[in-house]
Amino acid sequence: MAPISSFTFGLLSIFVAFLVPFNFMEFKKLKKQRIIAGLTSIALFLMLLGPKFGVKTGTVTFKFDEFGAGGMFVAIIVAIFVSLVMQVFGTFSFFSEDSVIPDFVTAWFDSLLPIGLVITAGWLVVDLLHFDAYAAVEAVFRPLASGADTWWGFTLLYFYLLLVLSTRWEFPVGCWRRLPSL
């Protein structure tokens, strides 16, 4: 069971890093940028995990637990950032509509600027500022996780969830829909 768990739920953050920008581009009707946005998000996510490079051996080492549910929040933050950058540059083109250059070449050139911007931002954060995104997100959620591990925290957390669901509170996000009556 360990290989099945490791290569499904263990890679959940990579799936999230790809699918959030992919679906966002689809929602914004920027279909040419879907796959490029997803792959750029994966590249930035892997960069933010801070891999260790073996210069003599030519290896790259990641901590595998950062690819699972723990890295999912980092993947969501990365995916939102990449989605917003790709949306800004999604309507921009270096070429006119009646250009003789094939569509895939124009899409490739048009995506170079946002990809370069995203990867440069990641490089600045990781290499120059020495920021560990996984450790920062883990530190933010550590009080919640340690409090939820106690009996009182578990009870309080599920009481809050029961209260929210039973009173049908609306979330401030406009895309949430009310649950149908039972």
Classify burial at 20, counting beta carbons within 10 Å of its beta carbon; exposed 0-12, middle 13-18, buried 19 or more.
Answer: buried
- pLDDT tens-digit map of 145-174: 677 667 887 788 788 888 877 777 665 544
Can you point out the beta strands (E) in 10-58?
Answer: 52-54
| DSSP states along 80-102 | HHHHHHHHHHHT--SS-TT-SS-
Rg (CA), the chain: 20
Query: In 49-129, where does DSSP find H-type helix?
Result: 72-90, 103-123
Highest mean pLDDT among 2-16, 57-71, 79-93, 101-115: 79-93
Nearest to 8 by CA among 50, 76, 67, 66: 67
- Cα distance between residue 166 and residue 142, in whole Å: 28
- pLDDT tens-digit map of 51-97: 888 888 889 888 887 887 778 888 999 999 999 999 998 887 777 77
